């Protein structure tokens, strides 16, 4: 049940982000950044400094969480 709730929460956050990003366009071009996790390896992309720095931090945090769950999860 928690997985389904988190899935819908993530979709809602992405939807709200795009709405807020289009309402408050800065400098004529939207700024973005993202993380794609393929297994434990984060692939990070972005088009500006602050967003890319945030996504790098997010990728590191997600990697640490995955390693913790891998080594200390249920056996």
Q: Over the chain (75 residues), what is each successive 10-residue block's mean pLDDT?
A: 85 81 64 76 77 80 85 76
Give, rounded to a whole angstrom, the gap between the first and last alpha carbons of the chain.
Answer: 21
CB atoms within 10 A of CB 35: 19
pLDDT for position 65: 86
pLDDT for position 39: 76
pTM exceeding 0.85: no
Reported for 40-46, long-range contacts at CB under 8 A and 24+ positions apart, including other chains, are: 40/66, 40/67, 40/70
Q: Hey, where are the domains in the chain? A: 1-28, 31-75
Q: Distance between CA atoms of 34 and 57, rounded to whole angstroms? A: 11
Q: Is 41 helix (H, G, I), strand (E, B) or coil?
A: strand
pLDDT for position 25: 61
């Amino acid at each position: 049940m928690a997985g389904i709730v988190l899935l819908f929460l993530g979709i809602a956050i992405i939807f709200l982000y795009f709405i807020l990003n289009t309402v408050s366009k800065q400098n004529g071009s939207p700024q973005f950044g993202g993380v794609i996790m393929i297994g434990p390896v984060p692939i990070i992309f972005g088009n500006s400094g602050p967003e890319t720095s945030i996504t790098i931090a997010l990728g590191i945090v997600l990697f640490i969480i995955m390693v913790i769950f891998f080594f200390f999860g249920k056996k």
